[in-house]
């Protein structure tokens, strides 16, 4: 059985590893990059807490001893279901079973100015670009004489009060207190503002009321200006325009306000649900197809427990990858007694800063905040990171940061990064 997996995220990688060296399977894993990136810690790369290599693991290294899993570095251009074919930027690949695990991408809601000027944070490259932008802003601030321009350079706006926005805002606040004044003693960081804008009534809207209240309290304690019920209309590179008519002067907007499914071309619109996700049955099969499956953030499955589909979390993607592997093994053995997918919620966590985190557990129903939740958060993330070496470096960095309140990763390599409109750059990643 030739299984083609598109996407090396949590779901796709779990499926490939579950089929690794299993007789009767030929597996091809396609991804645009040659590494698995641990997205929950991207914000720490963006704020110079971790190096990009600490949370990135080469896909080929995962399968060094594999006899049946092969990696293809390519971008999918089109799926042709009628021919059981995947057309990529490098070749055409036939399949018996196709699994789409392409996840999501940042949703700018069709606003081209936001695309041009705001920074997403969905990949390692995005995180490095944000780090580069932040450091350059402070370097430029040293030379600015105009007070209004100085304020724009020192203000940072994070849009979206979910886990990504909360964690990033907290990390930026800690940089403001402990790191930046030592790097730039000429600047007055009491004038630096970190804004967290949330369109809903609370931060961490998908977690419990206690977690939402705790996160708000922790953020305000750190000095973050949390503005709920606040919607961004536009951003022109200098000012953030809000729906209520107010503006925030800022050169840096980090967009964490929503995602949309990353669907390869080739599928009818009738297969797409809200959030640009593909509709699947309880066995993760794409609606109307017998040999195409969808897992992870891209899959939209309505169940009695989750009538609006499962949460777009790494834990759901991993569980789906594991279950699909078992069902494919049954299919290969001509056993049609497939197992339905049922998401097992083991809990949700988010960190805000040093000794500050929130954790919700469904069974038994428990809530933790502060230091205990922070320890749980760190322990879980260390377990989920691929590779002993990566775990060691992440843990070492955390220990070093905890005792020194510092990190030595605030480096500028402008030749390696694409920049937003209006910024100079010598080289870019997509250089021909």
Q: Residues with catalytic annotation?
A: 167
In angstroms, what CA-CA distances link 2 with 29, 329, 332?
A: 11, 12, 10
SS3 call for 57: strand
* C-beta of residue 294 within 8 angstroms of C-beta of residue 264: no
Angle ∠(223,105,91) on CA atoms, nearest 5: 150
Three-state DSSP state, 183: helix
How far is Cα 173 from Cα 166, in angstroms, rounded to an integer?
A: 11
Buried b / exposed e over 49-59, threshold 16 CB at 10 Å, is bbbbebbbbbb
Q: Pull the structure tokens for residue 219.
A: 């953020």
Burial class (CB in 10 A: 0-12, 13-18, 19+), 108: middle
Q: What is the DSSP string of 376-395?
A: HHHHHHHHHSSSHHHHHHHH
Residues 6+ apart with CB under 8 A from 327: 283, 284, 338, 339
């Amino acid at each position: 059985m030739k299984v083609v997996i598109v996407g090396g995220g949590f779901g796709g990688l779990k499926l490939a590893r579950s089929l690794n060296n299993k007789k009767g399977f030929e597996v091809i894993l396609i991804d645009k990059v040659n590494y698995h990136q641990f997205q929950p810690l991207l914000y720490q790369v963006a704020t110079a807490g971790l190096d990009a290599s600490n949370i990135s693991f080469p896909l080929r290294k995962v399968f060094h001893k594999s006899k049946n899993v092969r990696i293809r570095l390519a971008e999918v251009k089109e799926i042709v279901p009628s021919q059981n074919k995947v057309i990529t930027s490098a070749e055409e690949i036939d399949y018996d079973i196709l699994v789409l695990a392409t996840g999501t991408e940042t949703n700018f809601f069709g606003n081209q100015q936001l695309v041009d000027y705001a920074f997403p944070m969905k990949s390692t490259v995005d995180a490095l670009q944000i780090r580069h932008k932040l450091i350059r802003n402070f370097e430029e601030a040293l030379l600015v004489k105009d007070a209004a321009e100085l304020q724009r350079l020192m203000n940072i706006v994070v849009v979206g009060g979910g886990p990504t926005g909360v964690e990033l805002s907290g990390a930026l606040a800690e940089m403001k207190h402990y790191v930046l004044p030592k790097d730039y003693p000429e600047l007055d960081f009491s004038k630096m503002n970190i804004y967290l804008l949330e369109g809903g009534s609370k931060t961490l809207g998908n977690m419990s009321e206690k977690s939402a209240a705790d996160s708000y309290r922790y953020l305000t304690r750190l000095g973050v200006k949390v503005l709920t019920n606040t919607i961004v209309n536009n951003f022109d590179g200098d000012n953030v325009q809000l729906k209520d008519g107010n503006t925030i002067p800022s050169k840096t907007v980090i967009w964490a306000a929503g995602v949309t499914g990353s669907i390869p071309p080739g599928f009818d619109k009738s297969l797409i649900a809200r959030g640009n996700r593909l509709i699947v049955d309880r066995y993760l099969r794409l609606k109307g197809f017998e040999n195409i499956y969808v897992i992870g953030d891209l899959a939209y499955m309505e169940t009695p427990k989750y009538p609006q589909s499962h949460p777009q979390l790494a834990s759901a993607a991993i569980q789906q990858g594991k279950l699909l592997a078992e069902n494919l093994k049954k299919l290969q053995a001509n056993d049609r007694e497939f197992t339905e997918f049922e998401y097992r919620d083991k809990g949700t966590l988010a960190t805000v800063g040093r000794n500050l985190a929130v954790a919700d557990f469904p069974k038994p129903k428990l809530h933790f905040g502060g230091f205990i939740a922070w320890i749980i958060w760190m322990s879980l993330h260390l377990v989920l990171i691929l590779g002993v070496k990566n775990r060691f470096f992440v843990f070492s960095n955390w220990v070093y940061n905890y005792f020194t309140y510092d990190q030595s990763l605030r480096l500028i390599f402008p030749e390696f990064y694409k920049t937003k409109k209006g910024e100079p750059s010598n080289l870019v990643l997509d250089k021909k």
